[in-house]
Amino acid sequence: MTRCVAWLVMTVQVAAVAHADPVANDAAAHLERGVAAYRAHDYAAAMTELLAANRIAPDWPDPYLWLALAEAEIDDCQSALINLDAFAARVAAADPRLAELLALRDRCLHTGTLGVDSTPSGAAIRIDGGPPIATTPARRLAMRAGPHQVTVEKRGYEPQSQRVDVAAFGIGYASFVLPVTHHEPVSQRWWFWPVIGAVAVTAIGLTYEATRGPDVHVPGVTCDPAGCHP
């Protein structure tokens, strides 16, 4: 709801400024494209447009607001806080958008990032016993500051865990070497089914030989003028 208010307030302010000062039309166009990109979750394009608007009209508060929101989405909380302060310094204390910015500030002040790697790669990452959130290698996992239990899991390997302390604005790192499991079911090992196939073929052959019965040898018959006899 607050972002809808921000959108409406920005639209009214930009229209008023652009009408009063046609030279500001270029800044207004960049700002509108930046907000549209933000709403489409294209944060790189949003920041490009918003920075262009900020360069043209550095006294406008709105580019700072949307820059802060976009930077928070890509976990650049340090830059977001700078732009939050710049926005707050340019609007009245009763501005309805400040409430959301206070929540964003609180989130940024208690958020860090974590990188997780493993050998072999492709292991599922769990934080504090929760569901998998990514696979290794993961470079920038955003999470609240404080201690966390990081666990990585990959089929065929022993899961590994590690306690990691994440600092606000900090970048933590956890690395794992996963040993091959010795408890994998026999049926899941690569050699199981070829061996089963060979045993089956051998068993069929032995069964056939056992059920054929003894060979019957018929004595030869010799015939001469006196008659035929064995």
Instruction: Give pTM, 2 decimals.
Output: 0.55
Tokens linked to 13:
């302010």
- 10 Å CB burial of residue 71 (0-12, 13-18, 19+) is buried
* CATH of region 111-177, choose from 2.60.40.10, 1.10.8.870, 3.20.20.80, 2.120.10.80: 2.60.40.10
Residues 35/46, Cβ–Cβ less than 8 Å:
yes
pLDDT of residue 5: 47
What type of residue is 112? G
3-state SS assignment for residue 180:
strand
- Burial of 46 by CB count in 10 Å (0-12 exposed, 13-18 middle, 19+ buried)? buried
Distance CA 209, CA 213 (A): 8
Predicted local confidence at residue 144, as pLDDT = 87
What's residue 1's pLDDT?
45
Residue 102's pLDDT is 86
Cis amide bond preceding 58, omega within 30? no
Question: What's the confidence (pLDDT) of residue 143?
Answer: 86
Q: Specify the CATH class of 2-109 in words.
A: mainly alpha
pLDDT at 202 (0 to 100): 66
Domain with CATH 2.60.40.10 in the chain: 111-177
Tell me where in the chain the CATH 1.25.40.10 domain(s) lie: 2-109
* Closest by CA position to 6, among listed 34, 26, 41: 34
Mark the ranges of the chain whose per-residue pLDDT is less than 70: 1-23, 183-193, 195-230
